[in-house]
Amino acid sequence: MDAELVALTSTAASTAVTLLVTDGWERVTAGLASLWSRVHPDRAPVIEGELREARTALLEAERTGDITIAEDLVAEWRSRLRRLADADADTAADLRRLVASVLAPALADTGARGPSITMTAVVADHGRVYQAGRDQRIAEEDG
Protein backbone atom coordinates (compact mmCIF):
# COMPACT_ATOMS: atom_id res chain seq x y z
CA MET A 1 0.00 0.00 0.00
CA ASP A 2 1.40 3.37 -0.90
CA ALA A 3 2.15 6.10 1.63
CA GLU A 4 -0.60 8.36 0.30
CA LEU A 5 -3.27 5.74 0.93
CA VAL A 6 -1.89 5.04 4.40
CA ALA A 7 -2.06 8.75 5.22
CA LEU A 8 -5.55 9.05 3.75
CA THR A 9 -6.99 6.13 5.71
CA SER A 10 -5.26 7.32 8.89
CA THR A 11 -6.66 10.82 8.52
CA ALA A 12 -10.14 9.56 7.68
CA ALA A 13 -10.22 7.16 10.63
CA SER A 14 -8.90 9.68 13.14
CA THR A 15 -11.23 12.42 11.96
CA ALA A 16 -14.25 10.11 11.87
CA VAL A 17 -13.64 8.87 15.42
CA THR A 18 -13.17 12.46 16.63
CA LEU A 19 -16.46 13.46 15.00
CA LEU A 20 -18.48 10.57 16.43
CA VAL A 21 -18.84 12.47 19.72
CA THR A 22 -19.98 15.71 18.06
CA ASP A 23 -23.24 16.95 16.58
CA GLY A 24 -21.89 15.98 13.15
CA TRP A 25 -21.76 12.26 13.97
CA GLU A 26 -24.77 11.42 11.77
CA ARG A 27 -23.11 12.96 8.69
CA VAL A 28 -19.98 10.93 9.38
CA THR A 29 -21.98 7.74 9.82
CA ALA A 30 -23.97 8.33 6.64
CA GLY A 31 -20.82 9.19 4.68
CA LEU A 32 -18.90 6.10 5.76
CA ALA A 33 -21.92 3.84 5.22
CA SER A 34 -22.27 5.31 1.73
CA LEU A 35 -18.62 4.52 1.04
CA TRP A 36 -19.18 0.91 2.07
CA SER A 37 -22.40 0.64 0.07
CA ARG A 38 -20.48 1.21 -3.16
CA VAL A 39 -18.29 -1.84 -2.57
CA HIS A 40 -20.43 -3.99 -0.25
CA PRO A 41 -24.07 -2.80 -0.46
CA ASP A 42 -25.24 -5.36 2.08
CA ARG A 43 -22.74 -4.10 4.69
CA ALA A 44 -23.85 -0.46 4.82
CA PRO A 45 -26.53 -0.95 7.53
CA VAL A 46 -24.07 -3.01 9.58
CA ILE A 47 -21.45 -0.25 9.30
CA GLU A 48 -24.02 2.32 10.46
CA GLY A 49 -24.81 0.16 13.48
CA GLU A 50 -21.15 -0.34 14.30
CA LEU A 51 -20.52 3.40 14.11
CA ARG A 52 -23.47 4.02 16.47
CA GLU A 53 -21.95 1.47 18.87
CA ALA A 54 -18.58 3.21 18.55
CA ARG A 55 -20.25 6.53 19.36
CA THR A 56 -21.83 5.05 22.48
CA ALA A 57 -18.48 3.62 23.59
CA LEU A 58 -16.73 6.94 22.95
CA LEU A 59 -19.31 8.91 24.92
CA GLU A 60 -18.94 6.49 27.84
CA ALA A 61 -15.15 6.72 27.55
CA GLU A 62 -15.34 10.52 27.69
CA ARG A 63 -17.45 10.26 30.82
CA THR A 64 -15.00 7.88 32.53
CA GLY A 65 -11.79 9.40 31.16
CA ASP A 66 -10.75 6.27 29.23
CA ILE A 67 -8.55 7.49 26.36
CA THR A 68 -7.69 4.03 25.06
CA ILE A 69 -11.13 3.50 23.50
CA ALA A 70 -10.62 6.32 21.00
CA GLU A 71 -7.14 5.05 20.10
CA ASP A 72 -8.47 1.53 19.59
CA LEU A 73 -11.33 2.76 17.42
CA VAL A 74 -9.00 4.84 15.25
CA ALA A 75 -6.82 1.78 14.66
CA GLU A 76 -9.87 -0.38 13.91
CA TRP A 77 -11.42 2.03 11.40
CA ARG A 78 -8.05 2.75 9.78
CA SER A 79 -7.67 -0.98 9.18
CA ARG A 80 -11.22 -1.30 7.85
CA LEU A 81 -10.76 1.61 5.47
CA ARG A 82 -7.49 0.13 4.19
CA ARG A 83 -9.17 -3.22 3.52
CA LEU A 84 -12.05 -1.47 1.77
CA ALA A 85 -9.63 0.49 -0.41
CA ASP A 86 -7.76 -2.72 -1.22
CA ALA A 87 -11.02 -4.35 -2.32
CA ASP A 88 -11.91 -1.64 -4.83
CA ALA A 89 -9.64 0.67 -6.82
CA ASP A 90 -12.13 3.58 -6.86
CA THR A 91 -12.56 3.61 -3.09
CA ALA A 92 -9.47 5.74 -2.44
CA ALA A 93 -10.85 8.52 -4.64
CA ASP A 94 -14.25 8.21 -2.96
CA LEU A 95 -12.60 8.33 0.47
CA ARG A 96 -10.58 11.40 -0.54
CA ARG A 97 -13.83 13.12 -1.58
CA LEU A 98 -15.52 12.07 1.68
CA VAL A 99 -12.68 13.56 3.72
CA ALA A 100 -12.74 16.80 1.72
CA SER A 101 -16.51 17.25 1.50
CA VAL A 102 -17.80 15.77 4.77
CA LEU A 103 -15.18 14.95 7.38
CA ALA A 104 -12.89 18.00 7.16
CA PRO A 105 -15.77 20.53 7.05
CA ALA A 106 -17.51 18.78 9.95
CA LEU A 107 -14.28 18.87 11.96
CA ALA A 108 -13.85 22.57 11.15
CA ASP A 109 -17.42 23.21 12.35
CA THR A 110 -16.55 21.74 15.76
CA GLY A 111 -13.44 23.85 16.18
CA ALA A 112 -11.53 20.63 16.95
CA ARG A 113 -8.18 20.02 15.42
CA GLY A 114 -7.28 16.90 13.54
CA PRO A 115 -4.14 14.96 14.23
CA SER A 116 -0.93 16.88 13.76
CA ILE A 117 2.63 15.65 14.02
CA THR A 118 5.75 17.69 13.37
CA MET A 119 9.13 16.01 13.41
CA THR A 120 12.59 17.39 12.77
CA ALA A 121 15.85 15.49 12.72
CA VAL A 122 19.45 16.29 11.94
CA VAL A 123 21.96 13.52 11.29
CA ALA A 124 25.67 13.70 10.66
CA ASP A 125 28.25 11.18 9.54
CA HIS A 126 26.90 7.66 9.96
CA GLY A 127 24.16 8.57 12.39
CA ARG A 128 20.64 7.24 12.12
CA VAL A 129 17.28 8.74 12.83
CA TYR A 130 14.14 6.79 13.55
CA GLN A 131 10.95 8.79 13.78
CA ALA A 132 7.38 7.64 14.14
CA GLY A 133 4.08 9.32 14.83
CA ARG A 134 3.06 6.35 16.90
CA ASP A 135 4.33 2.79 17.29
CA GLN A 136 7.73 1.87 15.96
CA ARG A 137 9.63 -1.39 15.95
CA ILE A 138 13.27 -1.56 14.94
CA ALA A 139 15.08 -4.85 14.63
CA GLU A 140 18.78 -4.57 13.87
CA GLU A 141 21.49 -7.14 14.01
CA ASP A 142 24.81 -6.20 15.53
CA GLY A 143 27.52 -6.67 13.00
pLDDT for the residue 141: 75
Contact 22, 110 (CB under 8 A): yes
pLDDT for the residue 106: 84
- Percentage of the residues of the chain whose pLDDT score is greater than 70: 90
Amino acid identity for residue 108 in this structure: A
pLDDT for the residue 29: 96
Distance CA 127, CA 143 (A): 16
pTM metric for this prediction: 0.74
